[in-house]
Amino acid sequence: MTVYKNTTNRIVVLDTETTGMPVTDGHRVIEIGCVELEGRRLTGRHFHVYLQPDREVDEGAIAVHGITNEFLVGKPRFKDVADEFFEFIKGAELIIHNAAFDVGFINNEFALLGQSDRSDVNEYCSVLDTLLMARERHPGQRNSLDALCKRYDVDNSGRDLHGALLDAEILADVYLAMTGGQTNLSLAGEGSDNDGTGRQQASPIRRLAAERVRTRVIRADEDELAAHAARLSVIEKSAGAPALWVQMESGES
């Protein structure tokens, strides 16, 4: 198996909903939701579709995502959106929570169409599983998407049921919080609160409007870049491994 190595900074956060599980019992994808990030910012581009699976949705699955058989009547089939979906994810780094589940279903959908060149996501995308990342960082703790939202102060108040697009949007916030180091910009002073013990409360992550006035970006000069590189070298020698952001930039993480 060829594993695709992503050489761009394009990220697609992806989630699916299905008729049930496992895929080996003939279950199918009924919803795909994706949001795109570039340079750690949401671009506003997304892919979202509900699909007619040509089989019944399990009652247990309906209890999780609320997507009924009646709702899916008249929706397109995967073959109708396969090309558009493939073009949206191709070449990106996919961020998925419990990636083995979603990737297995996506591979199966392409395989059912006889598209063997698309039936292994790892050949045209790199995949980062936030569930595995969370288990490494928080061993012995709950690492569901809801648990991570609570841990990283990500607002999931609208998540009464699972939904592929909503979950992809929430996972994007969780991923940025998990990989960004500082997860809030709350400072002591005006508008800051504490929890009654004197400890500062984290501010929830919120999206900024796409049409906002952009903040001026001041690029580092050559001397500053050299000083930064020297500092990273010191960190690497001290830790015995490159800093996480260096690994991510080189594709080693």
Q: Any idea which residues carry the catalytic annotation?
A: 162
In the chain, % helix, strand, coil (3-state, to 5) comes to 40, 15, 45
Residue 126 · residue 148 · CB < 8 Å: no
State phi, psi for 106 to the nearest 5 degrees.
Answer: -65, -45
CA 142, CA 135: separation in Å to the nearest integer? 8
CB-based burial label for 182 (10 Å; 0-12, 13-18, 19+): exposed
CA 42, CA 208: separation in Å to the nearest integer? 10
